[in-house]
Amino acid sequence: MTQIPTIDDCMATRLVTFKPADNIHTAVRSLLDNGFSGAPVVDEAGRLVGVLSKKDCLKIAYQSSYHQDWSGTVAEYMSPDPETMESGTDIVQAADRFVHSRYRRFPVIKKGVLIGQVSRADILKAIYQASG
């Protein structure tokens, strides 16, 4: 019997991340410059504490159009308690999770520490390759 690959085999591990105290203007610029739809927010120990998405950033842009102020920290605008996948989740379980979720990617954690990110495309590719 063949072992089913896990998300650890196909996830991205080189991620742009933010700290809660990072300047929000700098974080928005980083997302725009890198073409990312969002990025994980981690504390000093590498534990996932939130996600900053373009949608979160759009709220800032909208507010600043009235107040002309792009100040604040990532912690003030991030979405706390993001949905995650645990390291070691097999790709079939991950596919099921994506099929029943509106999210296109999930942070991957191991014992609470961010170790990567897995996307729909990562899982599709892994299943396709595993099928022969």
**Quick one: pLDDT at residue 68?**
64
Residue pointed to by tokens 């495309």: 121
| Residue 66: predicted pLDDT | 66
Comparing C-alpha atoms, which of 3, 56, 65 is closest to residue 31?
56
**Other beta carbons less than 10 A from residue 37's beta carbon:** 11
Cβ contacts of residue 111 below 8 Å, gap of 6+? none
- Give the integer Cα–Cα distance in Å for 23 and 45: 19
pTM, full prediction: 0.87
Q: What is the pLDDT of residue 108?
A: 98
Domains and CATH numbers, the chain: 7-130 (3.10.580.10)
State the pLDDT at residue 67: 63
Angle of helix 91-99 versus helix 120-130 axis, rounded to 10: 140
Residue 13 to residue 111: CA distance in whole angstroms: 16
pLDDT of residue 95: 97
Per-residue pLDDT of the chain (132 residues; tens, 9 = 90+): 468 899 999 999 999 999 999 999 899 999 999 988 899 999 999 999 999 998 888 887 777 766 666 788 999 999 999 999 999 999 999 999 999 999 999 999 999 999 999 999 999 999 999 887
